[in-house]
């Protein structure tokens, strides 16, 4: 005779857990990484660091330069893009609950001098 009561209790627990999971408390962050000419940068490492907690996640851009982080907790983030031969690009974003934020980054070529200088030749 306790079988119907047990079933009702189980149903109530499932409903409460389902309702709690249905509440969205996270955000998504995505973007495209390019170079200064607008060409996409594949295989760049993207790091999203929560400024308040220092917790970070990493992703790698695909062949179209696209990256995406799903289910990030809300808050302020520092987003960095890195790839060899390029200078690191950094930006800050604020994620709010339920949003999908697009944060595109541009990687500049690293070590490129702004002006060419001729070598000092010895004088005779």
- How does pLDDT run along the chain (124 residues), one tens digit per residue? 555 665 655 555 555 544 445 567 899 999 999 999 999 999 999 999 999 999 999 999 999 999 999 999 999 999 999 999 999 999 999 999 999 999 999 999 987 655 554 455 555 5
For the entire predicted model, the pTM comes to: 0.71
For residue 98, give its domain range: 25-106
Q: Rounded CA gap, 28 and 31, in Å?
A: 10
Task: Kindly report the length of the chain.
Answer: 124
The answer to whether residue 95 is domain-embedded is yes
- Phi-psi label, residue 7: left if phi above 0, alpha if psi -120 to 50, beta otherwise: alpha
The answer to whether residue 111 is domain-embedded is no
The answer to whether residue 18 is domain-embedded is no
The answer to whether residue 34 is domain-embedded is yes
Strand, coil or helix: what is 123?
A: coil
**Domain count across the chain:** 1
């Amino acid at each position: 005779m306790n079988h119907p009561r047990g079933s009702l209790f189980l149903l109530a627990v499932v409903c409460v857990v389902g309702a709690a999971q249905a509440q969205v408390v996270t955000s998504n962050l995505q973007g495209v990484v390019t170079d200064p000419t607008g060409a996409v940068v594949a295989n760049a490492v993207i790091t999203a660091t929560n400024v308040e907690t220092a917790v970070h996640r990493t992703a790698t851009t695909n062949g179209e330069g696209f990256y995406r982080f799903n289910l990030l907790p809300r808050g302020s983030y520092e987003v960095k893009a890195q790839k060899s031969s390029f200078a690191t690009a950094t930006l800050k974003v604020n994620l709010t609950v339920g949003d999908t934020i697009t944060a595109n980054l541009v990687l500049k070529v690293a070590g490129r001098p702004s002006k060419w200088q001729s070598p000092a030749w010895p004088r005779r």
